[in-house]
Amino acid sequence: MTNKIRGMAALAGFFLFAAGSIFAQTPRNLSFGSQISGTLRTGEEQWFSVRPTQAGMVIVETFGDAIDTYLEAYDASRNLLTEDDDGGEGYNARIELFVNEGQTYLFKLRCLGDGGPYRLMALFETISPRSLSFGSWVSGNLRVRESQWFSVRPTQTGLVTVETTGDTDTYLEVYDSSSRLISQDDDGGEGSNARIELLVEANQTYLFKLRCYGDSSGPYRLIAGFETISPRSLSFGSWASGNLYAGESQWFSVRPTQAGLVTVETSGAVDTYLEAYDPSSKLIGEDDDSGESLNARLTVFAEAGGTYIFKLRSVGGTSGSYRIIAGFEQISAADIGQNYERSRSVPLNANSPVPVFLREPRESRWYRFDVSNPNSLLVVETRGDIDTYLLLYDERGNLIEEDDDGGEGYNARISRSLGRGTVYIEVWAYRMGRTTLHAEVWRRD
């Protein structure tokens, strides 16, 4: 699956940007509106940068039919912002990124499969969002590949719903006041209409980007609604009960005094669904049937002193009584770790497995391994219940191998012949949880 692909290329001439580390090298600057061309070899990555002088939308895309391209976008601190495989024409990649004034953004280009020539262009689009009044419809027309922007600024914390109606196949994205994409939807409304529900903070501006899906175009109607919420506080270890009606949402909150894992689950005959939001109102997890029978069960990592909100609703028109409980498991500072980037990698020793705790999906942990024999076989694998991904880099930051499900179940496993030197190992997973990282090395004579 394309959404399970991450960083598969070896750097040749363009090293990973990392200020103050051995991986730093200046990416090639992109000028808006000017097309550049180049060639990608199999396994190669090339890096580019843009620095807009005003807030708006940056569009970076490739052209041509020679290779299948893949793009990733990062901020200046190398935090992955978004990625795309085939969002352009054919097998070309296309990224649309909401950007701030005077900030540098990095784009990593690679190919999937065989290499070949490519063309790349960056465009900039200024935006002037139209303010939405809660409860009032607005209407308009969308052209192919056109985007229209809207904004809401609630005066109190609550739930904002933005949705379209009509026969046009619409797509919605929402950005917070820091320009982060926090939610998106295709067909969450009726028919091919988009619908987003978003927990928002008081006096914060949220931007909604509306476009057609694919090559569709036509008229639309759009409305924003607002619902105040008063979450019911849950005490860890104590059951609470209530009645849930079809189409109704009920809200709960927890506030742990220590960092750890918060688990909220329901019991009863109602088919329940849970969503979790962090203290900044970002959706951090959701679950349908992980509990017993049709009950929901959701575990999230929580920081000390933060308020986490859980939304409970029923599925499939069911209604009835339910019980709900919150549990807490403390996580030590050693479990959390600070090795979330290469410059903070920690040693991994042969035959000495290390526990790895990942606080959120796609969060990386970095390790380094010193190969002392010039003709060695290194085997690295995870062992656990979460779906993991492994990447192996040489001492210069070149990616030399990666794996998704080569181990048992959904565990990752890499087996690689290596010479003497240091290699770096990155591990991440598709969901939060624990795993164990193992390394073994044999001398090959």
Write down the pLDDT at residue 241: 96
The token pair that represents 440 in the structure block: 């073994």
Q: How many Cβ atoms are within 10 Å of 387's Cβ, its own excluded?
A: 20
For tokens 């849950």, name the residue: 234
- For 85, phi then psi, to 5°, come to -105, -70
> Domain 336-443: which topology?
Jelly Rolls (2.60.120)
- For 49, phi then psi, to 5°, come to -140, 150
> Domain 2-125: which topology?
Jelly Rolls (2.60.120)
CATH 2.60.120.380 domain range(s) in the chain: 2-125, 130-227, 232-331, 336-443
> Domain 130-227: which topology?
Jelly Rolls (2.60.120)
Length of the chain: 445
Write down the pLDDT at residue 142: 95
Q: What is the pLDDT of residues 370-403, one digit of tens each?
A: 988 888 899 999 999 899 999 999 888 788 899 9
Element at 161 (helix H, strand E): strand 158-165
Write down the pLDDT at residue 444: 67
The predicted model scores a pTM of 0.65
Q: At residue 84, what is the residue type? A: D
Q: What is the pLDDT of residues 226-247, one digit of tens each?
A: 999 999 999 999 999 999 999 8
For tokens 């240091």, name the residue: 422
Residue 279, Ramachandran bin (φ over 0: left; ψ between -120 and 50: alpha; else beta): alpha
Residue 357 neighbours by CB under 8 Å, 6+ apart:
331, 335, 336, 337, 433, 434
d(CA 40, CA 114): 9
Which residues of the chain, if any, have pLDDT below 70?
1-25, 444-445
Does domain 232-331 fall under CATH 2.60.120.380? My reply is yes
d(CA 228, CA 230): 7
